[in-house]
Amino acid sequence: MFDKLADYRRKDSLAAKLRERRFEFFAQLLSTVPRPIRILDVGGTQTFWETMGYTDEPQVTITLLNITLPEVRYRNFVGIQGNALNMTQFQDKGFEVVFSNSVIEHVGNFSDQKRMAQEVMRTGERYFVQTPNYYFPIEPHVLLPAYHWLPKSVRIYLTRHFRLGWRKKITDYEKAKDLIERTRLLKKKEFVSLFPGALLYDEKILGMVKSFVAYAGW
């Protein structure tokens, strides 16, 4: 059941179908941008772009920025170790497109999320940033109803004592606490405030908004 719902590697999973639909929307926007195109993927992996068929694109260069050095196997990819809150290694508007998928909810508190948003807007002529909706009833990382609405102490306890979704059990209290404190789902009003002037795309399941995309510059 878990695989059919949340395993992105399975093409028949709900998660894979939603991601494919989201990427189709992004690809439509990208088709309007003159080539060559430089894309900065903040917090992404090469596996994502492999799934979406963007390997060995001669006029599309994709720079992957992550807290650990990303693995790259294709000529049009560059891997850089860095921090989404401070991307000073990149110049203002240094990329035609900045892309980020389910990352901004993992960088810390709201001030940290604002710093990431500012860096995204600074470095890209255009951007496309996706994040889960706080009010969607199923927490997307652990696949438990209302998990993200529980008190922090309860979430730490569950993290230390159970495997939850993709997450393995983390018995160490400080490590579990750090994980919980660095994961902050955003409400719509908060997300909109991070990207003033952006358009907003609602990703829905059964009429409920599962996640948001802020995009601008297209």
Mean pLDDT of 112-133: 98
Give 15-24's long-range contacts (Cβ < 8 A, gap of 24+): 16/51, 18/203, 18/205, 18/210, 19/51, 19/101, 20/52, 21/203, 22/101, 22/130, 22/203, 22/213, 23/52
Structure pTM?
A: 0.91
Question: Which of the pair, 102 or 58, is modelled with greater confidence?
Answer: 102
Over residues 54-87, the pLDDT tens digits come to: 988 889 999 999 999 999 999 999 999 999 999 9
Three-state secondary structure call for residue 63:
strand
Mean pLDDT of 21-47: 94
pLDDT at 158 over 80: yes
Mean pLDDT of 27-50: 95
Mean pLDDT of 114-134: 98
* Residue 12 pLDDT: 60
Q: 126 near 157, Cβ under 8 Å?
A: no
* Residue 143 pLDDT: 84
CATH number given to 2-141+184-216: 3.40.50.150
Domain borders along the chain are 2-141+184-216, 142-182
Tokens representing residue 175 in the block = 């490590």
* Residue 196 pLDDT: 96
Distance CA 201, CA 130 (A): 9
Q: How much is the mean pLDDT over the chain?
A: 92
* Residue 155 pLDDT: 97
Tokens representing residue 189 in the block = 């009003």
